[in-house]
Amino acid sequence: MILGPNDAVPRRPSRIVVAGTSGSGKTTLSARIGLVLDIEHVEIDGLFHGENWTPRASFEQDVDEFIARPAWVTEWQYSVVRDRLADRADLFLWLDLRRRTVMRQIVIRTLRRRFGRTVLWNGNVEPPLHRIFFDREHVVRWAWNTHRLTAERVQRLGRCRPDLTIVRLRSHAEVDRWMADRLIPAARI
C-alpha cells in the first residue's frame, strides 16, 4: 500500500530507505530523518564509490553489515543491493518529484560541486562539465534518462512487499509537512 503525506505511519520506523531519481534529495532527506529519529544515516554513495569513481570491492559486504543493524536510514540505489535494502526496511519513502524540479536541483548541485571543487566520496570530485555531452552516465543525463524508472521500481516493490509501508512524497512542501506532522510524532512513539 502506498501512503501519502497525510497518512500516519503505523509505528516508529527504525530501518528506512529513501528512493528517488538522482538529484531528488534522497541524501538530504535521509540525513534529516537520521537526525530526527537519532539513527545512523549511511550515505550509500560513500560505500559505493572508491577512488577515481571506481566501485569499491567491499560495497556489498559493507551494505550487508549495516543493514543487519537494528536502526539506519539510507538511499535506495545500486541495483546489486536494492532488493536487500528493501527487504530489511520497515519504512520506504519515495521522493516522486517532477522531472523539472529534479533537473533544476541536479544541475545546480552539479555546478556548485564542480565550481567549488567539492571533494565527495573517497577523494572524488565532479568531472569537467563538458563530459555531460559525452558520458552517458553523467549524473545530469542519468537523472533525465532514469527519472521514470523509479516509479516502475516502486510499483514493483509494492507488489512484492505489500507489508512494507511506502510513503509517496511529490513535492518539497509534502516532505516538510510529512516530517513535521507524521515523522516527528512517530519519533516520540
Query: Quick one: how far is CA 7 from the chain centroid?
Result: 21
At residue 132, the pLDDT reads 86
User: Can you tell me whether residue 63 is helix, strand or coil?
Assistant: helix
pTM > 0.75? yes
Residues 6+ apart with CB under 8 A from 52: 124
The number of domains in the chain is: 1
Nearest Cα to 96, choosing from 21, 39, 158? 21
Predicted pLDDT at 11? 85
Q: Encode pLDDT of 57-112 as tens digits.
A: 999 999 999 999 999 999 999 999 999 999 999 999 999 999 999 999 999 999 99
Which range of residues forms the domain containing residue 33? 2-187
Average pLDDT over residues 106-129: 94
54: pLDDT strictly greater than 80: yes
Mean pLDDT across 8-31: 94
- Residue 78's alpha-carbon distances to 27, 47, 58, 120, in angstroms, are 14, 11, 14, 18
CATH number, position 87: 3.40.50.300
Q: Measured between alpha carbons, how far is 107 from 183 in angstroms, rounded to an integer?
A: 29
The whole-number pLDDT of residue 146 equals 93
Alpha helices in 38-171 (DSSP H): 44-48, 59-67, 79-88, 99-115, 139-160
Q: What is the mean pLDDT of the chain?
A: 94
